[in-house]
Structure 1
Amino acid sequence: MEESFKSDHIIVGEPTNLGVAVAYRGSILIRVSAYTLGGHSSAPYIGESALDKLIQFINVINTKYSGVDFDETSCAFTVLRAGDWLNNLPKKGEAYANIRYPPGHNPEDILREIENIARSTRVEFEVLSVEKPVRVSVNTDAVRALLRSILKLNMKPRVVKKTGTSDMNTLIAISRSITAFGPGDSRLAHTDHERINVDEVVTAARIISNALNELSRV
């Protein structure tokens, strides 16, 4: 995306269950590595397991970042690798984690906390990416246009804040008149039950079409 590019209004297509999204949490991706001398599984009290060190780190992090709401910080470990033989203590291992944090929180503060935990559990960690959270006013043109369009269809409009991230986190740089909207339930995303209702798609298209007509006159 060119830095000089600007947009008047943006509607990001996302599964918001026909709610108008005004905020998304930020995201931090990290890789955690552990190294030990290993040992034999018959005498774990003599050797040292890289997997055990990773598990200690994971337990502390999951306790620290156990949020379940938009305004809280949460963490999910998505990949864990360690060991190459059934009766050997792993000499090395790695884990990947995704921390989600709300607007108003400084990612540098979170990373300092993670660094302290990594030091105390004797593991190493690397920051893979940091994506800032986003929040816009309900009075922005894009949000208001969608809300009015929903009302025109005799539906009750909903303003929502999302715990994940979307292109809205990035595209806020080229327009403050931005929102995310679309059919589909994001709670089913990346599951075996992910689906979308055709009637919802048609309704969403009508809402977006009416909103775009209004925005073209702003």
Structure 2
Amino acid sequence: MNASTSDPTNVSLEAARELLVDLVSTPSPSGEEREAAKRLVDFFEAHDREARIDGIGNVRAPADDAVLLTSHIDTVPGDIPVEVEESGDDEILWGRGSVDATGPLAAMAVAAVRTGVSFVGVVGEEVDSRGARYLVENREEPAAVVNGEPSGVNGITLGYRGLLAGTYVATSESGHTSRPDPNAIQHAIRWWTAVEETFEADEYDPIFEQVTTKPVEIDGGTSTDGLSVETTMDVQLRVPPELDTDAVRETAEAELEVGTVTWKDAVEPVMTSPRTEVARAFRVAIREVGDEPRLLRKTGTSDMNVYAGAWDCPMVTYGPGNSELDHAPDERLSLSAYDRSIAVLEHVSKTLQE
């Protein structure tokens, strides 16, 4: 374990909520996390904890490595007016990032201060996980990891699908559109249609267990000099734990007859056991706050995939918020749920320190 830089310090409910509102009020789309990172550093220093911004922009607050609490600072773009709305006995915070993942980030920062465990806020998760990739290359493995993403107060996320992302490029000679010969645009469409058909699943198969395919951007047409037709298409395939990205890549390439595809990113899927000490600690903690634990598998990809690929320690993903509101125009978070998630994280951290 790393030596703790300070003893656990109390954080009031008011200060915990103030941190959350301040962070949600500070725009932090990927690549523009600096101001939010400074606010996090200020929070730790105000509670007598060492914190710094590292070479890539992550906020590091090292302490007891019995568990590392880590979530991402960046959000997707989008301006949602920040306001706290009364709702019965609760209050609801509206704003970009309140769910994904500033709520989990702030809850983890508060729990880390209250318990004296390690914390890292990472950058770039919404784009390329550059903060998490930098972290695993420049930090020792902790005893356990809790990654911060919305799961709901009672949700424990054990698995994520992997990601394979690539760019297809094709060129054909220009000619009159009445000619029957396929052009580059048609070649792109035919390749992707073949890929989709190859990975088509039975309608009863859970999404988590499927390879799902998605074109994310396409550009094509006659070249500037008028001599050729050119097409570029960016694609993504989500990979279930039963497969790996190499197997999916080989299958997709087997359908390639014209053109080339360059694979830009490959993140392996992850599925952890519900029987680890971390998962057990969460089940106990969630019951302590009056909820019944739920075990989750997510169809997307997160920084947990990066950590699982580099570190051989138990880990789960957890955080307040309804994940159906990720990236949504009506993103909002219950403040009572935020408070309870902090209590869960505190309980888990103390259990893992024993």
TM-score in terms of structure 2 length: 0.55
Q: CA RMSD in A?
A: 2.2
Match of 2:317 in 1: 180
Say yes or no: does 1:117 pair with 2:265. Answer: no
Which is further off, 183-192 or 127-136? Answer: 183-192
Are 2:149 and 1:11 equivalent residues in the alignment? Answer: no
Q: What's the counterpart of residue 244 of structure 2? A: 106
Task: Report what 1:2 is aligned to.
Answer: 137
Q: Which amino acid aligns with 2:233?
A: A
For 1:105 and 1:151, how far apart are their aligned partners in 2?
A: 34
Alpha-carbon shift at residue 72 of structure 1 (Å): 1.3
Aligned mates of 2:234, 2:198 — CA distance in 1? 16
> Counterpart in 2 of 1:64?
198
What's 1:206 paired with?
343
8 Å contact kept, 1:83–1:89: no
* Structure 1 position 166 matched with structure 2 position 302: yes
**2:156 and 2:296 in contact (8 A); partners too:** yes
Are the equivalent residues in 2 in contact too, given 1:168–1:180 (CA < 8 A)?
yes
CA distance in 2, matches of 1:155, 1:177: 23
Shift of 1:160: 0.5
Correspondence for 2:282: 146
Separation (CA, whole Å) in 2 of partners of 1:62 and 1:167? 26
- Residues 1:63 and 1:201: Cα distance change in structure 2 (over 3 Å): farther
Q: Is 1:93 aligned to 2:231, yes or no?
A: yes
Matches within 5 A, 1:10-49: 10-18=145-153, 19-41=155-177, 43=178, 45-46=179-180, 48-49=182-183
- Any conservation in 1 of the 2:169–2:233 contact (CA below 8 Å)? yes
Structure 1 SS opposite 2:344? helix
Aligned to 1:176, what secondary structure does the other structure show?
coil
**SS at 2:137's partner residue?**
coil
1:195 is the counterpart of 2:329 = no
Structure 2 contact 209–242 (Cα < 8 Å) conserved: no
1 CA distance for matches of 2:235 and 2:323?
20
Q: Deviations over 1:9-57 (max 9, x none)?
A: 111001123310111111111111111112234x2x2554211111112
Q: Report the alpha carbon displacement of residue 158 of structure 1 after superposing the two structures with TM.
A: 0.3
Asked whether the equivalents of residues 37 and 47 of structure 1 are also in contact (C-alpha less than 8 Å), the reply is no
SS in 2 for 1:96: strand
1:140/1:176 contact within 8 Å kept: no
Aligned equivalents of 2:191, 2:343: Cα separation in 1: 49
Name structure 1 gaps, 5 residues minimum.
none
Q: d(CA) in 2 for partners of 1:70 and 1:48?
A: 36
Does residue 78 in structure 1 map to residue 186 in structure 2? no
Matched residue SS, 1:39? coil
Is contact 1:24-1:133 (8 Å) kept? yes
How many Å apart are 1:5 and its aligned residue? 1.1
Say how many residue pairs are matched.
211
Deviation beyond 4 Å, 4+ runs, structure 1: none
Q: Tell me the residue number matched to 1:51.
A: 185
Give the gaps of 5 or more residues in structure 2. 1-135
Distance 2:174 2:332 in 1: 46
- Please state whether the residue corresponding to 2:218 is helix, strand or coil: strand
Amino acid corresponding to residue 60 of structure 1 in structure 2: A
Do the aligned partners of 1:29 and 1:96 also contact (CA within 8 Å) in 2?
yes
Which AA in structure 2 matches 1:59? Answer: T
State the Cα distance separating 1:63 from its structure 2 match.
2.4
